[in-house]
Structure 1
Amino acid sequence: MSPTSDDREALHSGELEILGRIRSASNATYLCEATLGQHRVHCVYKPVSGEQPLWDFPDGTLAGRELSAHLISAELGWNVVPYTIVRDGPAGPGMVQLWVRQPDDDDAATPVPEMVDLVPGDHVPAGYLPVLQAYDHTGEPVTLVHADDARLRRIAVFDVVINNADRKGGHILCGVDGGVYGVDHGVSLHTEDKLRTVLWGWAGRPVADLDEQAPAALARLLEALDGSLAATLEPHLTSAEIVALRRRVAGLLEHPVMPMPNRHRPIPWPAF
């Protein structure tokens, strides 16, 4: 979603009112309305005080990683992460992100495309790629699939760049504007390889096959990491994490092939 200037001003300076808690999230996550004058906009608010410490991600850094993911997406020119800032809110400082309006938000009769899904047996629908086979809660065979969609391919490349450790199916949202967006990037940008994703359908494929413009975008990102972007990321990531980010981008340019899943937990759990 591309915010208007009024949206941006409201997110930055408006009064945040909590409308409800998003219970499916592992950390404290709230649906809010930001109001500035007569302008109102919905957003997601994740206060730092509500973050659950993780052994491999230091406490109090998840909001900064969410912001960093947005800044990297913007630098690439891909707009795959909704507009994101860090500001004070009702429960203290935290991440505030533009709400992605989905088709069923406006019209319950409008079908929402399933970018990631489970299908019976090995019956992979046309236009989808298989990821893995498993058994459902009744013992029936199922296959995890995702769409072979150009918008989703870009998210898959982006996840390699940010070393996303938690790309679940539920973290992929289809907006009413026709865009496909990734959310929940607090568990990303680690120095160690932690890529865990449901988007393994393009593993081993050349990056340019997924998006012919990706190499040029990655080259621009690498240049920015040698300049202003690194300085912008410094308050939110450690110097080692910024170095690791630059190394991943440079490595993807030198060997422009999508990685293969490792044998140790390549998919986040639960997958949705």
Structure 2
Amino acid sequence: MAGHAEPDVLLDGELTVIGQITTASNATLVCDATIGDDSMRVVYKPVRGEQPLWDFPDGTLAGREVASYRISEALGWGVIPRTVWRDGPFGPGMVQRFIETVDRRSDDLGGLDVVDLCSPDNVPVGWFEILQAYDSEGQPVSLIHADDPRLQRMAVLDVVINNADRKGGHALEGVDGSVYGVDHGICLHSDNKLRTVLWGWAGQQIPAPLVVDVAEFVTTVSGRLGDELSELITDEEVASLAARAAAVAQTPVMPFPSGHRTIPWPAF
């Protein structure tokens, strides 16, 4: 007797909206996905809630989120929470597993997130200081991030997917011990648009295991994965993705900032 497949709550569960992330530029809804007794907290971004951008085609941001997830999985890195394309109460869009995060300010974990702000006089040893600025009260602050291999892998992924919006708040340390990246709607453009707060490794060699993964990915993207991605982004963007990955594999050094818009603003 054939067994029954387990229900896929993320892909097929009924979505019940329980809140909205009001700081997001596009409609970002927190939902519970439910099938019977199985339930999962998710983030739902319907296409109809996307704001137009001058440099990205209208109605493509949710698809870019799904494409970025599939690239992360093809690399074997698990940086992006599982993300699917599906229908919902406000039409088709992307649905992503919600990440429960560590609250470092409420316990003895050191008080700093993996990307954070601190006084310029209190940058922890071993952390990268990305820039100095002034807060709303005119006090100097430093934008910093940890020298953490989990975060470094995310930074390499951002180079491959050409992430134009890696804000500090888009790097989440989960209670499961992983560091996840979210909000990949403006990735995968064919023009160089890398904007990130993770510049700490600029000019450094990319760790060899990550280079091996990227080199294997180059062969994958030219086959079935490329065909799958072409349903979400343009053929030109798939070709640019393959070229960026090949460049990383051939010259495995993290890029330096170039141009005047290399850090997203606001940075969080």
TM-score with structure 2 setting the length: 0.94
Task: Establish whether residue 239 from structure 1 lines up as the match of residue 238 from structure 2.
Answer: no
Partner SS, residue 122 of structure 2: coil
The alpha carbon displacement at 1:104 in A equals 4.2
The alpha carbon displacement at 1:140 in A equals 2.5
Superposed CA deviations along residues 176-216 of structure 1, whole A, max 9, x for unmatched, are: 110000000001000000000000011010112xxx31111
Paired residues of 1:45 and 1:97 also in contact (CA < 8 A): yes
Task: Establish whether residue 47 from structure 1 lines up as the match of residue 46 from structure 2.
Answer: yes
1:218 — aligned with what?
Answer: 214
Superposed CA deviations along residues 210-251 of structure 1, whole A, max 9, x for unmatched, are: xx3111100111010111110110110000000000010011
Paired residues of 2:26 and 2:51 also in contact (CA < 8 A): yes
1:33 — aligned with what?
Answer: 32
2:223 — aligned with what?
Answer: 227
Aligned partners of 2:98 and 2:22: how far apart in 1? 16
Task: Establish whether residue 193 from structure 1 lines up as the match of residue 192 from structure 2.
Answer: yes
Paired residues of 2:118 and 2:142 also in contact (CA < 8 A): yes
Paired residues of 2:129 and 2:145 also in contact (CA < 8 A): yes
Aligned partners of 2:16 and 2:243: how far apart in 1? 40
Aligned partners of 1:184 and 1:240: how far apart in 2? 22
Paired residues of 1:122 and 1:133 also in contact (CA < 8 A): no
Task: Establish whether residue 253 from structure 1 lines up as the match of residue 249 from structure 2.
Answer: yes
The alpha carbon displacement at 1:145 in A equals 0.8
- Stretches of structure 1 lacking an aligned partner (at least 5 in a row): none
Amino acid at match of 2:102: P
Q: Which moved more, 1:250-259 or 1:188-197?
A: 250-259
Paired residues of 2:212 and 2:249 also in contact (CA < 8 A): no
Amino acid at match of 2:28: T
Aligned partners of 1:104 and 1:118: how far apart in 2? 15
Paired residues of 1:14 and 1:36 also in contact (CA < 8 A): yes
The alpha carbon displacement at 1:127 in A equals 2.7
Amino acid at match of 2:203: G
Task: Establish whether residue 268 from structure 1 lines up as the match of residue 258 from structure 2.
Answer: no
Superposed CA deviations along residues 93-114 of structure 1, whole A, max 9, x for unmatched, are: 0100001112349x96575751
Partner SS, residue 103 of structure 1: coil
Superposed CA deviations along residues 75-97 of structure 1, whole A, max 9, x for unmatched, are: 00000000000100000001000
Q: Which runs of structure 1 show a deviation greater than 6 angstroms over 4 or more consecutive aligned residues? A: none
Paired residues of 1:207 and 1:257 also in contact (CA < 8 A): yes
Task: Establish whether residue 101 from structure 1 lines up as the match of residue 100 from structure 2.
Answer: yes
2:80 — aligned with what?
Answer: 81
Calculate percent identity across the aligned residue pairs: 54
The alpha carbon displacement at 1:122 in A equals 4.6
- Stretches of structure 2 lacking an aligned partner (at least 5 in a row): none
Amino acid at match of 1:246: A
Superposed CA deviations along residues 122-151 of structure 1, whole A, max 9, x for unmatched, are: 532113111112222233222211000110
Aligned partners of 1:132 and 1:104: how far apart in 2? 24
Partner SS, residue 243 of structure 1: helix
Aligned partners of 2:153 and 2:69: how far apart in 1? 14
Amino acid at match of 1:92: G
Amino acid at match of 2:47: V
Describe the shift of the 1:109–1:121 C-alpha distance in structure 2 as closer, same or farther (beyond 3 A): closer
Amino acid at match of 2:192: D
1:180 — aligned with what?
Answer: 179
Aligned partners of 1:146 and 1:109: how far apart in 2? 20
The alpha carbon displacement at 1:255 in A equals 1.2
Q: How many residue pairs align between the two structures?
A: 263
